[in-house]
Structure 1
Amino acid sequence: MSAGQAALAAARACAVMPIRNAPRLGPPLLLAALGAIAVLYHATFWSMLQLWSRSQTFAHGYAIVPICAWLVWRQRGALAAAEQRPSIAGLVLIGLLGAAWLLADAANVQVVGQYAATALLPAAVLAICGWRYARAIAFPLGYLMLAVPFGEVFVPPLIEFTARFTVGALQWTGVPVFRENNNFSIPSGNWSVVEACSGLRYVIASLALGALYAHLNYRSARRRLLFIAVALLLPILANGVRAYLIVMLGHWSGMRLAAGVDHLLYGWFFFGLVSLLLYWVGGFWRDGPAPPDAPAVAAPRWPDMRAASAAAAAACVALAALWPWLAVALPAAPTRPAPGAALAVAAAPGWRAVDTTAAEWRAPHAGAPLQLIQRYQGAPGFVGLQLAWYRRQGKDAELLAHVAPARFDGWSPVADGARSVRVGARALALRQSVWQNGAARLLVWRWYRQGGVDTASAFAVKLRLAGARLTRGAEDGADIIVSAPYGEHEPEPQAALGAFLADMLPAIDKALDDVRGH
């Protein structure tokens, strides 16, 4: 064979042989960066793990991370063939998420900080390995967000739906029922729809399983979204049916069945049956097997991005580390009021302070704020005043820290909503709620004063608190509550509360201004 023929044969062989790229540093650098982020935000991730362990509703979080790892492993072929080109968009996203985490940390909004810290992981993938790499594992990166414990905000509407559905089904099937709030009575006994009956754990579990099933069994985006929507809505309806059947089991058995442990066992059995039915039916619309892989061809020769990947990984870790450092740099202010500070509200003309009773409703507060609980009597009737003031606010010692529901000696909430009232030339936005204890009712007006600004919005309180902490401004906050009792068949005493505020609000303002300046 001549030299020319040999060269031609070698060229033809090269056309079908894979071309070996230079070793790519993206994956090992990415793993190192993800490990660094986990260490930098370990407190946030640890808080997630604690919630997984403490609450059955969020115990699925233990399975999310291994599932995501398995899904990424399934895509190892696509990842090996994907171009790795660092993206500046990923670094920008890390900066925005880090700022959101810092804001959430300053305002003590745990769930926002958990979402921001978790989202840093997909952002690091984008920053170090680029768009094509991230797109190949887009679903597991998004699925990771289900590890964040979230959903308790939906408990009240889910309880309301379950109670309405159960009562409506009982009436439709001819069972006499009397409903009062989330409690109802039938001839065989009394029932109550509580937090455990909301079905939130079923909804979250069904969403996690449904999203995974849709990803693995459908290729059409429309079918995937439709199945996820059904997986999200079906357990809500099924939970209503479950609650109705539990009540009927108790009714038919003379309250011997479905009233103890079997209540919970039946709930999980019913949820499992509904889930199996959902996936069995969904299997009829499964897409066919994926098309066969294309014949092996020469691997594309990507440009050598090792230096760029190293620089992106370093920038990623440095940018992610900035925000925890800033959080530590913020001064840790004491949350207890200064010694000698006290709340004192002088009674205005026409009102006199009277003794409080042990059975009165009181709002719980986290930490050790300055408090005033006083009852006043005037021409419009009796009005209660509760003040709680924090000089500084920290975790578990702030206006909106999570505490047990405000129930005291049999009081339970009946209604709640936003309201605006005028006190002289001043407009007050507040929350109006009604509490009940037997035949006695209580009308409650409540608002907050954060950094000297009145608001009824929890979001505004958190935002102003975060701004104050980041700028070293005034963190003081007050919870202001006025309430008036009335009978079950009496009109709401809104006029009494309005008259009380018209006369007493200047004294309340002075009391809060005095402790601020103490």
Structure 2
Amino acid sequence: MSLQLDQLARLPDAAVLPHGHPRRQAALAALLLSLAAVVLLYHATFWSMVELWARSQTFAHGFLIVPISCWLAWRQRARLAALAPRPSRQGLLLLGVLGLTWLLADAANVPVVEQYAATAMLPACVLAILGWPAVRLLAFPLAYLFLAVPFGEVFIEPLIDFTAAFTVTALQWSGVPVFRDGSNFSLPTGNWSVVEACSGLRYLIAALALGALFAHVNCHSTRRRVAVMAAALLVPILANGVRAYLIVMLGHLSDMRLAVGVDHLIYGWLFFGLVALLLFWLAARWRELPPPRAVPSALPVRLSAGAASPRAAVRAGVACLLLAAVWPALALASQRDDGATLPAMVLALPDPPAWRRLHDAVPDWQAPYAGTPARFAATYARQDGDGAPVGLQLHWYARQARDAELLTHQALPYGARWMPLAQRVRHVNLVNGKLAVRESVLAYGGERLLVWRVYRQGGIVTARPVLVKLLLAQAKLLGRRQDGADIIVFAAYDELALAPRARLQAFLQAALPVIEQRLQELPHGP
């Protein structure tokens, strides 16, 4: 009890109220109603998070984040109960910005931004109704909620690359001959590949969640908290590299009899469990006790000029509810035509100048796509017979809806056969100026495929997916044209040959005007 009295006395610039004060009761009731309203209004967004928790082991920790955050907030109930509400207009402004962000992300179908925006609305309501003192008091529980958002897949490729490089380097230092090709490498005893499950992302996310909780509960100085979080970030990455190396060595030394099947994953989890135990055993040695505090003679009850009336807290709660309800209504209005269907269209293109279509050629690759766009696929060669063929694929969407649009997440973005080796944005010199294209190098055994890709959204040609999403959101919200096209050119070559960039550049120079003219002829109403 003395510790709680001391904590209350040390609250900076806050009005302290006795337990059961009407101001406190009205503010907490308004806050709980506002939080419940946000969850109900954005239930589809929150439910999409739960579905990902249930579907992916990488994000299964999300089931624990919410109850842990509630427990951490409950630990502060005595101090929170003593705070007088100070509604903040900054909270309402933040809630409006987050609502607009959610609306744009919903229109552009960017789930992770929707989820972050909806989650951030909960702290915004706390700020709007209770004010900054309550936000400072609940800073960690509110921030910890963001770990529930399923985010991190963008780090899979860098983690795979690091794990492959670490494993190959460790094998070479061990005297084992190894040949690396992207995320694949070959040993005299067999072939190995670092895939998504071996990236270590799930280890990293779990360690960060546990490390943050440990640092908050057991450390009180900023330096030690930062040290624990740095260890929780670096140790899993390095440990995953060691894990991959040990598994490959185990398979190599056993002539591929061990660590090549399900036991591969079992060994990996056992190793990570040992590493996690070691990490938190070391972190426990940094544990700090809270600094001693003097016990006051009596609990002060002071009301500062900034303390709000119960009506102010209720008005802030009503404002939060109304402001949160605006954006789902606008989203519903903007999606009223998404279910409309257009008649199926067959795309046809005349041959680009100096190029002829090879009608009997079998394409080397088919790019995955979502929904049922109008499609065109063909293989071309120069009319003078000089050079190997070039493939062209065109996917055109007259109207885009969720899971049936130009940019939609694909489980296998390059198909089941081809594996990506390199990706970058390349600037190509054309007659009308430079054009940025998304370049990918795909591999299948000794075969290689050079792929150039650009998007045409609302009449604008770009290689930036973010711009495509923003243009689509703008079109949906303003009722403008939302047609989009995916333009892909590619050419196959041998791994020992030079990449055929000059051939793709020449074809793109000839084909783009033809494609642009055809797309302008297609209907593109809102």
Shorter-chain TM-score category?
A: over 0.9
* TM value normalised by structure 1: 0.93
- Distance of aligned partners of 1:409 and 1:471 in 2 relative to their CA distance in 1, 3 Å threshold: closer
- Cα distance, 1:78 vs structure 2: 1.3
Higher CA-based Rg: 1
- Cα distance, 1:142 vs structure 2: 0.4
| In 2: Cα distance, 1:293 partner to 1:18 partner | 21
Matched with 1:454 is 461
- Distance of aligned partners of 1:473 and 1:269 in 2 relative to their CA distance in 1, 3 Å threshold: same
| Counterpart contact for 2:239–2:275, Cα < 8 Å | yes
Matched with 2:342 is 338
1:267-278, aligned counterparts within 5 Å? 267-278=268-279
**How far does the alpha carbon of each residue in 1:259-308 deviate from its partner, in whole angstroms, 9 at most, with x for none?**
22222222121112111111111122221244257335234243462111
| Counterpart contact for 2:23–2:309, Cα < 8 Å | no
| In 1: Cα distance, 2:18 partner to 2:28 partner | 21
Matched with 1:104 is 105
- Distance of aligned partners of 1:296 and 1:402 in 2 relative to their CA distance in 1, 3 Å threshold: farther
- Cα distance, 1:320 vs structure 2: 0.6
Q: Could you say what secondary structure the match of 1:285 adopts?
A: coil
| Counterpart contact for 2:23–2:84, Cα < 8 Å | no
Alignment pair present for 1:218 and 2:214: no
Matched with 1:94 is 95
* TM value normalised by structure 2: 0.92
* RMSD (CA atoms): 1.9
**How far does the alpha carbon of each residue in 1:113-162 deviate from its partner, in whole angstroms, 9 at most, with x for none?**
00000000011011111111121111000001100000000000000000
| Counterpart contact for 1:343–1:512, Cα < 8 Å | no
Matched with 1:416 is 423
Identity between Structure 1 and Structure 2 (%): 56
Matched with 2:451 is 444
Q: Which moved more, 1:214-223 or 1:499-508?
A: 499-508
Matched with 1:486 is 493
Matched with 1:430 is 437
**How far does the alpha carbon of each residue in 1:472-511 deviate from its partner, in whole angstroms, 9 at most, with x for none?**
1110000001112222222221221122122222211122
- Cα distance, 1:340 vs structure 2: 5.8
- Cα distance, 1:516 vs structure 2: 3.5
Aligned residues: 502
- Distance of aligned partners of 1:352 and 1:471 in 2 relative to their CA distance in 1, 3 Å threshold: same
**How far does the alpha carbon of each residue in 1:329-373 deviate from its partner, in whole angstroms, 9 at most, with x for none?**
114334787326331111134221113655611110000011111
- Distance of aligned partners of 1:466 and 1:408 in 2 relative to their CA distance in 1, 3 Å threshold: closer
| Counterpart contact for 1:336–1:390, Cα < 8 Å | no
- Cα distance, 1:381 vs structure 2: 2.8
Q: Could you say what secondary structure the match of 2:481 adopts?
A: coil
Alignment pair present for 1:305 and 2:312: no
| Counterpart contact for 2:482–2:524, Cα < 8 Å | no
1:385-400, aligned counterparts within 5 Å? 385-400=392-407
Matched with 2:50 is 49
| Counterpart contact for 1:448–1:461, Cα < 8 Å | yes
Matched with 2:242 is 241
| In 2: Cα distance, 1:368 partner to 1:385 partner | 18
Amino acid at match of 1:154: F
Matched with 1:150 is 151
- Distance of aligned partners of 1:459 and 1:335 in 2 relative to their CA distance in 1, 3 Å threshold: farther
1:108-127, aligned counterparts within 5 Å? 108-127=109-128
- Cα distance, 1:216 vs structure 2: 0.6
Matched with 2:60 is 59
Matched with 1:6 is none
| In 2: Cα distance, 1:491 partner to 1:96 partner | 50
Unpaired runs of 5+ residues, structure 1, are 1-16
- Cα distance, 1:72 vs structure 2: 0.7
Matched with 1:4 is none
Q: Which moved more, 1:507-516 or 1:144-153?
A: 507-516
Matched with 1:194 is 195
Unpaired runs of 5+ residues, structure 2, are 1-16
**How far does the alpha carbon of each residue in 1:375-412 deviate from its partner, in whole angstroms, 9 at most, with x for none?**
01113331110000001111100111011323446322
Q: Which moved more, 1:326-335 or 1:449-458?
A: 326-335
| In 2: Cα distance, 1:18 partner to 1:437 partner | 71
| Counterpart contact for 1:18–1:298, Cα < 8 Å | no
Matched with 2:328 is 324
1:66-77, aligned counterparts within 5 Å? 66-77=67-78
- Distance of aligned partners of 1:34 and 1:316 in 2 relative to their CA distance in 1, 3 Å threshold: same
| In 2: Cα distance, 1:356 partner to 1:199 partner | 45
| In 2: Cα distance, 1:18 partner to 1:124 partner | 23
| Counterpart contact for 2:366–2:415, Cα < 8 Å | yes
| In 2: Cα distance, 1:200 partner to 1:506 partner | 43
Matched with 2:408 is 401
- Cα distance, 1:190 vs structure 2: 1.2
Amino acid at match of 2:226: L
Matched with 1:3 is none
| Counterpart contact for 2:368–2:410, Cα < 8 Å | yes
| In 1: Cα distance, 2:196 partner to 2:32 partner | 40
| In 2: Cα distance, 1:418 partner to 1:430 partner | 6
Matched with 2:475 is 468
